[in-house]
């Protein structure tokens, strides 16, 4: 539980009521900002504002904060806004994953260091929501998540566009010579036309849905478009509710239980959510002291029909999802498969929250007994090429590639890939399996979203648009295709991926959950004797801390010193 003073007072109350020197200083300095004696007697509500002009997805957060503050004041709390680092997916290099743990640490330490009785965590872009949930699990003071909402659908020539699913498509067709520079620029101007995060079921939408499915955000929060006035209404309600959570002393660890994590996994699978969700959910669970093995995800996926007709695995986008009823409507359809007694930030259970909820559009949310696919979106693959697991979003794979055997075309690093992928002399055909090494947590560094290995240009010109591709990297939740990612252990620590050579035969069988390298064990042992680890990317600073202490993908890529000792192995 969060800290209480020795006399049982709230943290903020004890902080400002102290009769000694420090109480005098606390009151004096705070009153100088315009707060009154009456204000200082209220519950202190921190508002974690991750606004940044370097983060497009959070560009509207200052307005949302105003509405949160309004709700806090209405409910009798004292709102106090504070910043943390903000991670914008399109901007941060080499990858936002390098900074997720830093943001989680930043947020946790801000919560623990200040007299905050409860906190509203405002996030949106891919790594911000998982970082905040990790921090909430560790700090364990009353907390509630408010996401910033998705963009409106992009529009071009009567067609809906989605970032970044169509970003890949437009740039592919430009590379293939089917779009000229002017047409590409027109698409750039049409695809992102409002505030908000990506409007397909990418990582941002997936994590917003997870926050809601976990019970850490108010029902309906995830899908409201960022510019919609109802997003402001949600912000105000969130401000009111955090005060109620403080008064009731309801904390994240009472909400984010093992059963709640299972609910979140089930919603992710029914949604065709991002493969990144698995890394983040494992990391959140680790902060709670819960081991979340990949088999749990696969078991739930096998028993959870795919219901949500959203891109990149379906037809629609978040705007239509909101109009169909959003996450509550999907959860209503899944209600018989959920743990209905889980507590949520409403102070009520999941089942109580779902009373009266209806699915408003069956073309978006399919019935449980008539799903888009009988299994959930993400499959866990195992075999001698990934003994600790690899992931594939099976709902986004071309049907003819779900069972495939092909010859490996190997790239030793991201730089090698960039240098050779479009070489006209590259020995590759459409049946080949593209393999990228040294793109994992320690190797890339920090596991960037480069697992959507480009189709070689000479194959693009022949009309090829999907191939089996394997890496220890991640992919954006907006990606599509036969993309096998998160191969663990990664190549940079000597995982089997490091031993693959050009011409090796690789077998993929999604139905059998099989990923197999057809090379004899003695030959692999010979190759291992000759293998040397790549040079580390950093020799100082946070980067060095990262590569020395980050765990592998199947452990959530958190730092080993931030989870209980028993979860580090």
Average pLDDT over the chain reads 96
Has residue 559 been placed in a domain? no
**Predicted confidence (pLDDT) at residue 540 exceeds the cutoff of 50:** yes
**Predicted confidence (pLDDT) at residue 567 exceeds the cutoff of 80:** yes
pLDDT band at 568 (very low <50, low <70, confident <90, very high): confident
CA-based angle 463:467:471, to the nearest 5? 145
Look at the chain and report how many structural domains it folds into.
3
Average pLDDT estimate for 181-194: 96
525: helix, coil or strand? Answer: helix
499 and 460, same domain (yes or no): yes
**Predicted confidence (pLDDT) at residue 171 exceeds the cutoff of 50:** yes
Average pLDDT estimate for 238-251: 98
80: helix, coil or strand? Answer: strand
* Percent of the chain scoring above 70 in pLDDT: 99
Could you give the C-alpha distances from 110 to 55, 125, 309, 489, 519, in angstroms and in order?
21, 20, 39, 34, 51
pLDDT at position 8 is: 67
pLDDT at position 165 is: 87
Residue pair 520/459 in contact (Cβ under 8 Å)? The answer is no
Q: What is the DSSP letter of 387?
A: T
Average pLDDT estimate for 189-218: 97
| Assigned token pair, 441 | 């947590």
**Predicted confidence (pLDDT) at residue 1 exceeds the cutoff of 50:** no
Average pLDDT estimate for 498-524: 97
Q: Which of 379, 374, 369 is nearest to 304 (CA)?
A: 374
pLDDT, tens digit (0-9, with 9 covering 90-100), for 9-53: 899 988 999 999 999 999 999 999 999 999 999 999 999 999 999
Query: Domain of 164?
Result: 160-189
Has residue 286 been placed in a domain? yes
310 and 327, same domain (yes or no): yes
CA distance 378 to 390: 10
List the CATH number of the domain containing 445: 3.50.30.80
340 and 483, same domain (yes or no): no
Has residue 270 been placed in a domain? yes
60 and 142, same domain (yes or no): yes
Has residue 140 been placed in a domain? yes
pLDDT at position 6 is: 45
135 and 212, same domain (yes or no): yes
Q: Which of 567, 528, 531 is nearest to 551 (CA)?
A: 567
513 and 444, same domain (yes or no): yes
β strands within 87-139, DSSP E: 118-123
94 and 51, same domain (yes or no): yes
pLDDT band at 168 (very low <50, low <70, confident <90, very high): confident
CA distance 365 to 333: 8
Could you tell me whether strands 118-123 and 44-49 are parallel, antiparallel, or unpaired per DSSP bridges? parallel
Query: How many CB atoms lie under 10 A from the CB of residue 354?
Result: 19
Listed residues 337, 354, 371: the one ending a domain? 354
**How many residues would you count in the chain?**
569
419 and 282, same domain (yes or no): no
CA distance 515 to 526: 21
| Assigned token pair, 352 | 């109580």
Sheet holding 483-485, edge to edge: 378-381, 390-393, 483-485, 468-471, 433-436, 403-411, 505-509, 514-517
145 and 72, same domain (yes or no): yes
> For residue 411, what are the β-bridge partners?
436
Has residue 177 been placed in a domain? yes
Residue pair 433/411 in contact (Cβ under 8 Å)? The answer is no
CA-based angle 443:555:534, to the nearest 5? 15
Q: Which of 127, 109, 343 is nearest to 119 (CA)?
A: 109
pLDDT at position 7 is: 55
Give the residue ranges of DSSP H helices in 453-537: 457-460, 521-530
Has residue 210 been placed in a domain? yes
**Predicted confidence (pLDDT) at residue 183 exceeds the cutoff of 90:** yes
pLDDT band at 480 (very low <50, low <70, confident <90, very high): confident
Give the residue ranges of DSSP H helices in 192-293: 203-214, 229-248, 252-255, 258-271, 276-287
130 and 172, same domain (yes or no): no
pLDDT, tens digit (0-9, with 9 covering 90-100), for 327-339: 999 999 999 999 9
CA distance 126 to 552: 19
341 and 390, same domain (yes or no): no
495 and 445, same domain (yes or no): yes
> What sign does the CA torsion over 10, 12, 18, 22 have?
positive
Has residue 200 been placed in a domain? yes
Has residue 519 been placed in a domain? yes
Kind and range of the H or E element at 557?
none
Q: What is the pTM of this model?
A: 0.95
């Amino acid at each position: 539980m969060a800290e209480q003073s020795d006399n049982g007072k709230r943290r903020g109350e004890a902080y400002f009521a102290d009769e000694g020197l420090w109480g005098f200083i606390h009151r004096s300095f705070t009153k100088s900002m315009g707060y009154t004696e009456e204000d200082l007697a209220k519950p202190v509500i921190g508002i974690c504002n991750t606004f940044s002009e370097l983060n497009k997805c959070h560009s509207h957060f200052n307005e949302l904060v105003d509405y949160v503050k309004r709700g806090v004041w209405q409910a009798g709390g004292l709102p106090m806004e504070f910043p943390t680092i903000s991670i914008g997916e399109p901007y941060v290099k080499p990858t936002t994953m390098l900074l997720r743990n830093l943001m989680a640490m930043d947020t946790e330490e801000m919560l623990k260091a200040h007299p905050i009785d409860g906190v509203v965590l405002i996030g949106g872009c891919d790594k911000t929501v998982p970082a905040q949930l990790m921090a909430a699990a560790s700090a364990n003071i009353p907390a509630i998540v408010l996401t910033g909402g998705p963009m409106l659908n992009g529009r071009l020539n009567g067609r809906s566009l989605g970032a970044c699913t169509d970003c890949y498509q437009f740039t592919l067709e430009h590379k293939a010579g089917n779009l000229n520079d002017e047409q590409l620029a027109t698409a750039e101007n049409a695809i992102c036309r409002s505030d908000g995060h990506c409007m397909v079921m990418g990582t941002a939408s997936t994590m917003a849905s997870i926050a809601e499915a976990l019970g850490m955000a108010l029902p309906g929060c995830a899908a409201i478009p960022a510019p919609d006035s109802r997003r402001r209404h949600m912000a105000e309600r969130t401000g009111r509710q955090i005060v109620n959570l403080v008064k009731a002393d309801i904390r994240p660890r009472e909400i984010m239980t093992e059963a709640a994590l299972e609910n979140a996994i089930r919603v992710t699978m029914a949604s065709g959510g991002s493969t990144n969700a698995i890394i983040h959910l494992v990391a959140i669970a680790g902060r709670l002291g819960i081991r979340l093995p990949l088999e749990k995800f696969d078991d739930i996926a096998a028993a959870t029909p795919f219901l949500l007709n959203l891109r990149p695995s379906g037809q629609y986008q978040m705007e239509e999802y909101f109009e169909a009823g959003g996450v509550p409507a999907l959860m209503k359809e899944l209600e018989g498969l959920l743990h209905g007694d889980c507590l949520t930030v409403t102070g009520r259970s999941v089942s109580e929250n779902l009373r009266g909820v209806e699915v408003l559009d069956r073309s978006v949310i399919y019935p449980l007994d008539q799903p888009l696919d009988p299994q959930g979106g993400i499959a866990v693959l195992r075999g001698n090429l990934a003994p600790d697991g690899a992931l594939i979003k099976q709902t986004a794979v071309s049907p003819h590639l779900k069972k495939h055997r092909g010859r490996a075309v190997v790239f030793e690093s991201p730089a090698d890939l960039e240098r050779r992928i479009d070489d006209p002399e590259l020995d590759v055909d459409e049946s080949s399996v593209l393999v990228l090494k040294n793109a994992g947590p320690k190797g890339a560094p920090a596991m960037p979203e480069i697992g959507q290995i480009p189709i070689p240009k000479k194959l693009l010109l022949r009309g090829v648009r999907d191939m089996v591709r394997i890496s220890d990297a991640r992919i954006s939740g907006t990606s599509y295709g036969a993309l096998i990612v998160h191969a663990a252990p990664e190549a940079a620590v000597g995982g089997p991926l490091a031993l693959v050579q050009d011409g090796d035969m690789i077998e993929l069988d999604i139905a059998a959950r099989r990923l197999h390298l057809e090379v004899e064990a003695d030959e692999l042992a010979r190759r291992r004797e000759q293998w040397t680890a790549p040079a580390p990317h950093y020799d100082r600073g946070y980067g060095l801390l990262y590569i020395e202490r980050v765990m592998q993908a199947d452990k959530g890529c958190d730092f080993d010193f931030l989870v209980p000792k028993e979860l580090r192995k």
